[in-house]
Structure 1
Amino acid sequence: MSLKGFINTNKIRFFFITLLSILSGTSGIMAGYIQMYWLTYIKGNDWIKVGITTGLMALCWFFSQSVIYFVQYLNNIQEEEYFKKVRDKIAEHYFNDGKFHKIADFQNRLTNDLSIVKYNFFEWYVIVPFYGSMLVASLIALITIHWSIFILSLIIDVISYFLPKVIDKKVKEATVNVSDANNEYLNVINKWFSGLAELKRYFAGGKLFEAQNNSSTKLENANVNQTVQQQLLNILNGVGTLLSTIILLGFTGLLVDQKIVVFGAILSVQNFANNVSFGMQETITGLTMMRSVKPLMKKISEDVVSIETENRNNVDIPFVIRTQNLSLSFRNGETLEFPNIRINYGDKVLLTGDSGTGKTTLFKLILGIIQPTHGKVIFEDNDGQEILPDMSKIGYIPQEPNLFPGTIEQNITMYNAKLDSNVKTVVEEVGLSKDLGHFKNGLKTQLDLDKLNISGGQRQKIVLARAKIHESNIILIDEGTSAIDQKTTLDILKNLVRSESTVFFIAHNFTEEMRRLFDKKIEL
């Protein structure tokens, strides 16, 4: 994420944003320059020239004030178009990078972080050329009045430029801390409020409010600290403005008294001095604010880098899945160690073990959702050669199946219309056809993800049907029938074991008849 990307969004529009910002700022100074002669003509009772200069001043002021609003409108369009591209690239990056991302991290990046960049960088972009042109035009006006006034202004401006750099680093740190604190707050909300019903059931609201309050306080402190640093920046700039005005006004009064400059200069120099100081203050503030988000923009840039998706010609269906010295360590010091296992194509394997022994974790390691601390998962072809697996052929039915906006049919086909003709067959195989009779629109029923209009068992059947219709050669099922009655579960299992696919099944409370359907059993 960069100014270059912002420019490339629409180069012509960006050119006009910059040009009109400069012209708007310059036009305001031009009005002040005309005012110097307007005041002198009033003193000399030259009313014709007073009328002409009055008209020119009004024209310049109108142009300056009206154009800047149009520039802000153009800049907003440029921002939104650029941010849309950035959001799309971030989503694509997260989709293709093969890593596990917390929802809160994704939300923070797409909302809060982009908002910080918007208001601390791109909003200031319009302001910097506007006030920068005012600064330059004011200095030019001062040198045309008298060179000594210009030199004095230049000295004051140099001092004003370096003064805010005292807190430049703190402003940057404060901005990054706001992003980090907001990210932490979203993570807390995600972790605690996802189990709100459970907390209510056990009257554990106190702990919820404590966690939320602690995280909220950190976010509040980060925002307050950012405001403090920004106010300190404004105070430093204000001090520079006050000193500049006092010194320049006094010096100009001496020049007027000695008749070195015209009478109207005493008012215009004050205005120019104010514009120089204010222009310097706003330009420096703008550049400081823009620099403050550079670290955050760098982080965002890492998330918009295009990732080439795996070449499907270089992947294959695994005939063997095996683990080698596989283990996963946690921050609390605990480590899960897994036995070396080998699963051949077509095997029907039952995975059992006490809670906490790592059954679900093993599945996630095989799928690459999480990476092991030691060892590796190896995929081999029919000749025993290590290969890159075609993950689209590995079906996964988690404990909590993932459903998406759309119809039941679309959730089975995953929006691939070419598979519509096969839906009825797989619906029969997973025992979902009877359930569809309870829905007025059958397969065309729209799923309500906010107020789920299907049962837990129906969700599991939909995801089972999804794996079958996509002809998954390997199916990993993590208690994927726990919400389905035993008779239907038995029918589903019989269908699965009759297929050529590899079936790796985690389950509890299996009947002996169900156990006999599997070729082998692995206990952790």
Structure 2
Amino acid sequence: MFIKDFIRINRLRFFFITLLSVLSGVGGILAGYIQMYWLTYIKDQEWIKTAIATTLMVICWFFAQSVIYFVQYLNNVQEEELFKKNRDQIAKHYFKDQKFHKVSAFQNRLTNDFNIIKDSYYEWYIIIPFYGSMFVASLLALITIHWSIFALSLIIDVISYFLPKLISKRLEKATTNLSNKNNDYLNVLSKWFSGLAELKRYSACGKLLLVQSQSSKKLEKANVNQIQQQQLLNIINGISMLLSTIILLGTTGILVEQKLAVFGAILSVQNFATNVSVGMQEMIQGLTMMKSVKSLMQKVNVDAMPTSLSNKNNVKPPFSIEIHDLELSFPNGEVLKYPDLKINQGEKVLLTGDSGSGKTTLFKLILGIVKPSHGTIIFKDKKGNIIQPDMSKIGYIPQDPQLFPGTIKQNITMFNENLNQKVEPVLKLVTLSKDLKQFTNGVDTTLNLDNLNISGGQRQKVVLARAEVHNSQLLLIDEGTGAVDHQNTLNILRNLLQKDITIVFVAHSFDKNMKKLFDREIRL
């Protein structure tokens, strides 16, 4: 997301943004330069020259003011196209990098971080050529008035350049901290407000407001700190500008008195001096602000880097699993240890254990959602060879199935139209056909995720159908029929367990008849 990426979005538009920014700055200084002679013509009562100078001043001022607004528009268009491209790249990267990303971190990256970069980098880009051209044009105007004015301006500007460096590091640190605190705040909201209904049920409003307030206070403190650093930078720039104006204006008065400069220079030099000082300060502030988000932009660039899914030529469908010395350590010091397990091809295993024994966590370890602290998980193909598993062939039915905006059919095929013809036979396998009769559009019914229009059991059946349609060779079911009635659960189990695939089923309340359907039981 650095300036080279900004240029590549539209090179011609970038050229006009820069060129028109420069011309706008020069136009403003040219109007001020004409004003110097305009005042002199008025003093000398040369009215024709006064009229000509007035006309030229108006044209220059109008050009400078109107063009800068057009430049801001072009710059905003360039920004939004760059951000759109980077948001798309980040979304692809997060999808393909095979890592687990918190929703709050994803939201923070695509919203708050982009806003910080916009305000602290790209919004300042047009300011640099605009004020840079004003700075150069003002210096040229000053040297035409008298060399001493020009020399004083250079000395003052050199001093002004180094003053803001006193806080540049602090401003960069404050900007990075603001991004981190905003990420923390979104993470807190994600964790607590996702369970808002449950908190309401137990009247736990006090706790919700407390954690939100505590996190909000940290974010507020980070915001205030960044604003303080920005204001300190503005104060330093303001003091420098004031001293510059006083020194240059006093010197000009002496020159006019000695008739070494025209009368109009008294007012114009003040404007030129202000523009030199403002031009220098704005450029420095712009560069400082742009530098302050450098580390953040580097992080965004890393997330926007192209990545690819695992090479399908090197992965194979997994048929069996072996677990050796598997452990997962928690921040509180507890360690979850698993016994060595071997689940053979085609085996139907019932996984049981007390609450907290790690059944769901084991599935997440197998799927790579959670990384083990120690030990290995080995996948083997149909011939018993160790392989890199094709995760798309591992079906996973969690306790709370994940559905997406779309129809029931699309949630089964996961938006792959090539699988549409496989949906109908699978509906019978998971006993979903009868349920669909209550919907006018059947399998083409659009799901309402805000006010879910299917039951919990139907959701589980949809996800079971999803795994079947995608030819999962290894099926991990975590209480996948917990919301389905006893008879339908029995029918689903009989249908699934007849298939020549490997199934690991987590359950708590199976009766003896259900347990008999499995080859064996593993208790954690």
With the shorter chain as reference, the TM-score category is over 0.9
**TM-score when normalising by structure 2:** 0.99
The CA deviation string for residues 221-240 of structure 1, in whole angstroms up to 9 with x for no partner, is 11111111111111110000
- The root-mean-square deviation of aligned C-alpha atoms, in Å, is 0.9
Residue 93 of structure 1 is matched in structure 2 by 93
Q: Which aligned pairs between 1:238-317 and structure 2 lie closer than 5 A?
A: 238-317=238-317
Give the letter aligned to residue 70 of structure 2: F
Give the letter aligned to residue 231 of structure 1: Q
Q: Which aligned pairs between 1:372-391 and structure 2 lie closer than 5 A?
A: 372-391=372-391
Give the letter aligned to residue 107 of structure 1: Q
The CA deviation string for residues 108-135 of structure 1, in whole angstroms up to 9 with x for no partner, is 1010110110111001111111111111
Residue 156 of structure 1 is matched in structure 2 by 156
Shift of 1:385: 2.8
Secondary structure of the 2:510 match is: coil
Residue 483 of structure 1 is matched in structure 2 by 483
Shift of 1:211: 0.3
Shift of 1:369: 1.1
Give the letter aligned to residue 336 of structure 2: L
CA distance in 1, matches of 2:146, 2:385: 84
CA distance in 2, matches of 1:437, 1:353: 37
CA distance in 1, matches of 2:258, 2:249: 14
Residue 437 of structure 1 is matched in structure 2 by 437
Matched, 1:203 2:203: yes
Instruction: List alignment gaps of at least 5 residues for structure 2.
Output: none
Residue 465 of structure 1 is matched in structure 2 by 465
Secondary structure of the 1:158 match is: helix
Secondary structure of the 1:155 match is: helix
Secondary structure of the 1:310 match is: coil
State whether residues 98 and 309 of structure 2, in contact with CA within 8 Å, keep that contact through their aligned partners in structure 1: no
Shift of 1:313: 1.1
Residue 413 of structure 1 is matched in structure 2 by 413
Shift of 1:319: 3.0
CA distance in 2, matches of 1:387, 1:2: 40
CA distance in 2, matches of 1:178, 1:163: 24
Structure 1 segments, 4+ long, off by >6 Å, are none
Secondary structure of the 1:134 match is: helix
Residue 347 of structure 1 is matched in structure 2 by 347
CA distance in 1, matches of 2:360, 2:473: 20
Secondary structure of the 1:476 match is: strand
Give the letter aligned to residue 428 of structure 1: K
Residue 188 of structure 1 is matched in structure 2 by 188
Q: Which aligned pairs between 1:81-120 and structure 2 lie closer than 5 A?
A: 81-120=81-120
Matched, 1:76 2:88: no
Matched, 1:223 2:223: yes
Residue 35 of structure 1 is matched in structure 2 by 35
Shift of 1:383: 3.9
Matched, 1:447 2:447: yes
The CA deviation string for residues 378-401 of structure 1, in whole angstroms up to 9 with x for no partner, is 112344332111111111111110
CA distance in 2, matches of 1:421, 1:389: 26
Q: Percent identity?
A: 66
Secondary structure of the 1:236 match is: helix
Alignment length (residue pairs): 524
CA distance in 1, matches of 2:108, 2:118: 14
Residue 322 of structure 1 is matched in structure 2 by 322
Shift of 1:196: 1.1
CA distance in 1, matches of 2:223, 2:85: 28
CA distance in 2, matches of 1:321, 1:197: 39
Give the letter aligned to residue 330 of structure 1: F
CA distance in 2, matches of 1:142, 1:21: 21
CA distance in 2, matches of 1:411, 1:320: 27
CA distance in 1, matches of 2:34, 2:411: 70
Secondary structure of the 2:386 match is: coil
Secondary structure of the 1:387 match is: strand
Give the letter aligned to residue 81 of structure 1: E
Shift of 1:308: 2.2
CA distance in 2, matches of 1:434, 1:308: 41
Q: Which aligned pairs between 1:12-51 and structure 2 lie closer than 5 A?
A: 12-51=12-51
Instruction: List alignment gaps of at least 5 residues for structure 1.
Output: none
Secondary structure of the 2:354 match is: coil
**TM-score when normalising by structure 1:** 0.99
CA distance in 1, matches of 2:64, 2:345: 75
Shift of 1:421: 1.6
Shift of 1:498: 0.4
Shift of 1:440: 1.4
Shift of 1:314: 1.0
CA distance in 2, matches of 1:13, 1:85: 16
Shift of 1:3: 1.2
Residue 505 of structure 2 is matched in structure 1 by 505
Give the letter aligned to residue 467 of structure 2: A
State whether residues 99 and 370 of structure 1, in contact with CA within 8 Å, keep that contact through their aligned partners in structure 2: no
